[in-house]
Every structure is written in structure tokens, then in C-alpha cells.
Chains A and B, each alone.
Chain A
């Protein structure tokens, strides 16, 4: 199961890298979404995918899955959600002001 997940995460990373290198800002934002999906799945996978109950307190004493990676993912998800929201608004604003969404036209630092 871990091997399958590793391959899927690899595909996500490859797609994200490809999209990061494109010209349009929206593609770059999609890339950042895919990259964070990949990273979150990786945390889940690296925590181990052994079978177990959901990590809720149970009377039967059934072994549960590792709760720590799930907490980490939840944290990482909201953080990347916040950053993505900012990124989208920034891209919208930059499109209004600079009148382009092409990263090639945003070269240089001099005004």
C-alpha cells in the first residue's frame, strides 16, 4: 500500500513541478495546490498505513491508527489553505494592476 501511495505522491509532485514552471499565474497556483496535496499525503503515508480503528477512544481496546500524522496534516491543511487564499487574491489584484498574468512579463525589479 505504501508503495502505491509513494507512486501517486510522486506523480503529484511531478505534475506540480511541471505546472510551477509554466507562465500563467493560475497554473502556478494550481501547482501549489497539488504540491500541498502531495505533501499531506506523504505525511499520512510516512506515518504508516497499518490497519487499525479510527483514533477515537474505544472501550474494546482495539489498536488505532497513528493519530499524530493526522493532527499534523490538519494543521498543514489550514495553513496551506490560508496561503492559497492569499495567493489567489494577490494574483487577482496583480492581474488588475499589472494587466497581465504572464510571469515572463513580470521580470526585473526596476520601475
Chain B
């Protein structure tokens, strides 16, 4: 079926439109969104299978041949990220049932969630640089509304800041596209790559454009020094929204950096890659400083997003097969585990009524299931061997040592310790110790909230234990990234 790869965009889009008409009936909304999320997950698994058997899939939308129309391209990297997005989407929707509250649900909450998924999946699948901008805007517009929906004071305040930052970065994106268009005269990513490769020497203006793209996507993906908006903005929304943002939004920026740098700017390994390397290492440092500094459990997990972005981009900056493999392993792991961690601290906040770590302890006595799920999530995040964070970080660091980047690799190794400390701090101070009085008041039923979390954790444990099964897929993804010719060939030639 030739239209297969458009379905992960089309299914949530149609669902979002249908959900607009079902606004007053919360039950129908829930049923429709779960069904659509399940269907989308099945479809995206089919795409992964299809890509692994038949190579890169593409559609020329409207049957205009490749450089002239918009092309949707699904290589292994996009297919895997789409699968991860649908899994996270399903878990967040399930979690929302018992946590978001009917008031928000009646105001198009599920519809906007679906639009958010449209934007994210579209950004992963597109093969056109301006279309990427449009999908970014779809995603951002949905995120503005999700951030402010409910209209509490803190949400209004943080939405204003988040909106301002993203208006600026979107304008910068338009400017970068304009510059790139004036140099290469095309918008199709494969043809841009081909035209840049056909130049005799890499002109300075392309290095400038590379840095501009790094600024634009770095602003979306929160790298140092452009991460400043993230801690505040992610603190404001309700927990399922926070999980959706933490798992997906920044990762789209990271994906775009991987795509543009490996496809467009790979000849210029000197300046822009060096810059990316330095920024990635500083991002890791800033992230761990933030995560060990706070005693607020939301803040701790938020700063861990920044650390993970740094680790992934460090692997990208090495640009070797090993380090790319590590980065992609880590990227998918991080999307899953960040969603799980946010949903878990959401349960903790629901039980204790506070996010201040100093105000509660001894949760393990009444909530053992929650405690051990959190424990697994925490050690997965730090990268303890049987779990999912290990193989990615191992390969990133191995790639670093192979490229003789001792300092950066050592910093990433040490950062793992501090990440472990920051999440174990929550475990030790929150779950161990004497239960404080309000915990005993009533045991809140949290089992329904835990189901989607266990779903994600199960996927992530499988992902860590069955590396042998996953590895062929990842190495196929890396093959396309390291050899852009495969991508160009698949898109431009019949």
C-alpha cells in the first residue's frame, strides 16, 4: 500500500477533527482517542516492518515528482521515532483519563493532544524543509494551547514567555529557510543535500546557515545557551501535558539537528560540528547542575531532559557510525523514560499534594508498586546495564573515545553518576524513611494511573533487554544517516 506512511499523520488529524464535534461527551472523546491511538500504533509498527524489508519509503504528495512537490519520506530513523511517539501518545491519553479533570476534557483537550501528535509525527516524516516548518508550527500551536488550557495564573504567565520565545525561533527558522533557498534554490531536503554535495568547496555562507539552523533547532531542543525558557515553561502545565512535552517536543528539535547536520552540512566537519560538540558538553554540565541543585521533583526531572539532549547531541557531533548508533538508541530510550518519569512524579504529587521533596517520605510503605516502578525508571535513566539507558550511553561514550574526545566522554560518564544521584535522591528521601502523617490519612487509589506508566516501563525494559532484536533496526537507521546518498537515491530516483 503506497499511502501507508501518510497514515500516522492522517489518523490523528482526522481524529482531532472528529473530537471537535464530540466536545461535550467526555466518554465518547476518551473512547475515540484511545482507539485512534491504538490504531496509529499498529500502523506505525507496520511501517517499521515495511521500511526494514523494503528500504526507505516515500510518497510524492499529489504525484508531483520529487523535487517539485512535497515528499514524505520514512526512513528507519523516522519510522522508529514515529512508533515511539505513538506509544508515548497512547500512554499520555490513558493517563489523562483519571488526572486531567472533566473541565479541561470538555474544552477540546483530547483534540489538541491529537493535533500535537500530528505536528510531531509530521515533523519526523517530512522530506521538505518548509513543510518541516509548517509541522513545527502545528506542534507549537498545539503546545501553546495545551500549556495554557485551564487558565491558572502560573500557566498564563509561563505561556506568555514560552510563546515569545517560540515566535522568535519560528521567525529565525523562516529566515534560515530563506537564506538556504537563496543559496541552493530548492526546498526538498534530498535535493538540497545533492546540490550542496555538488559544490566544489563548502562555502562560508553554508557554515553560517548551519549555525543558524543550530540556533533555531537548539532553541526548540533546549541546548546551552538556549535552554533558558524550558525549566519555567515545563513547570506550569498539568502532568500529562508535561510528560508529552518532555518526551516529544525537545526531541523534535534534536531530530531536526540530526537530519540537517547529517544530510546538509556533513562535508563541513570542521566548524559547525566542533561548535555542536562544545555546546553538547556544556548542555550536559548545565543539566546535571540543575538536577542536583533542586529539591523540587518536577525541576529535577526537567533538568534531566536537558542533560539527555546534551548526551544525544554529543554522539551526533562525533558523526561516526558508533556514536550515531548510540545517539539513536539513547534518543528513543529517553523519549520513553522521560514520559514514564513525568507520569510517575505526577502520581507522587497526586498522593502527597506537593512537589517539594523535603515535605514527604516513606511512600514505599503504602505504595510499594509505585516505588518499585519508579526505581526501575530511575536506574534505566542512569543507564544501569540490563535496562534501556545503558547501550545508548555506552556507544556514545565509545564513539567519543574513538574520536579521541577524552574530556567530553569523561564528563558524560561523570554526568551519569550525577543523574543517578538526582533521581535516587527522590527515591531515598521520598520513598524511604518514616511515613509522614498526611500519607496515612487515606490511601489514594493510584492503580489506574499506574497502568500507562507500567506500559511504557515494560516497553523500555524490553528495549533494554532485547537489544539484539532492536539493533538491526537502529543500524539500518544509522546507515542512512552516515550515507546520505542512500536517502537522496531513495527520494530523487525512481
Contacts and interface: CB of A to CB of B under 8 A. Distances in A.
A20 B178 CA distance: 22
B182 A86 contact: no
B306 to A, nearest CB: 16
A72 B133 CA distance: 10
Contacts of A106: 157, 160-161
B156 interface: yes
A72 B70 CA distance: 13
The B contact surface, by secondary structure, is helix
Given A35-B167, A72-B130, A79-B137, A109 B235 contact: yes
Interface stretch (B39-47, B112-120, B146-154, B374-382): B146-154
Contact of A93 (B137, B156, B170, B187): B156
A28 B153 contact: no
A98 B171 CA distance: 28
B151 A93 contact: yes
A97 B178 contact: no
B174 A43 contact: yes
A29 B134 CA distance: 21
B153 A25 contact: no
Nearest to B137: A79
Contacts of A82: 141
Q: How large is the interface on B (under 10, 10 to 19, 20 to 34, 35 or more residues)?
A: 35 or more
Interface string B165-196: 00110110011011101100001000000000
Contacts of B163: 83, 86-87, 90
A79 B148 CA distance: 19
A76 B164 contact: no
Contact of A109 (B160, B168, B232): B232
Interface string B104-118: 000000000000000
Interface in A3-47: 20, 25, 28, 32, 35-36, 38-40, 42-43, 45-47
A68 B167 CA distance: 23
B153 A86 contact: no
- Size bracket of the A interface: 35 or more
Interface string A77-111: 00110110011001101100110000100100101
A46 to B, nearest CB: 4
Nearest to B138: A79
Contacts of A111: 153-154
B178 A43 contact: yes
A91 B159 CA distance: 10
Contacts of B148: 90
Contacts of B187: 68
Contact of B141 (A20, A75, A86): A86
B401 interface: no
Given A39-B175, A90-B159, A98-B156, A46 B168 contact: no
Contacts of A79: 134, 137, 170
Given A93-B156, A94-B160, A98-B153, A47 B181 contact: yes
Contacts of B232: 109
A86 B412 CA distance: 41
A98 to B, nearest CB: 6
A46 B153 CA distance: 42
A90 B157 CA distance: 9
A83 B156 contact: no
Contacts of B161: 106
A76 B171 CA distance: 9
Nearest to B186: A68
B236 interface: yes
Contact of B171 (A36, A69, A86, A103): A36
A109 B159 contact: no
B75 interface: no
B141 A46 contact: no
B289 to A, nearest CB: 17
Contact of A39 (B130, B154, B174): B174
B141 A91 contact: no
A35 B157 contact: no
B134 A46 contact: no
A79 B157 CA distance: 23
A39 B156 contact: no
Contacts of A32: 164, 167-168, 171
B181 A90 contact: no
B192 to A, nearest CB: 14
A21 to B, nearest CB: 11
A109 B144 contact: no
Nearest to B157: A106
Contacts of B158: 109
B164 A28 contact: yes
A90 B159 CA distance: 8
Q: Which 4 residue pairs spanning A and B have beta carbons closest together?
A: A46-B182, A46-B178, A39-B174, A94-B156
Given A20-B168, A39-B175, A83-B170, 8 more contacts: A20-B164, A32-B171, A39-B171, A42-B178, A79-B170, A86-B163, A87-B163, A94-B160
Interface of B: 130, 133-134, 137, 141, 144-145, 148, 151, 153-154, 156-161, 163-164, 167-168, 170-171, 174-175, 177-179, 181-182, 187, 231-232, 235-236
Interface of A: 20, 25, 28, 32, 35-36, 38-40, 42-43, 45-48, 68-69, 72, 75-76, 79-80, 82-83, 86-87, 90-91, 93-94, 97-98, 103, 106, 109, 111
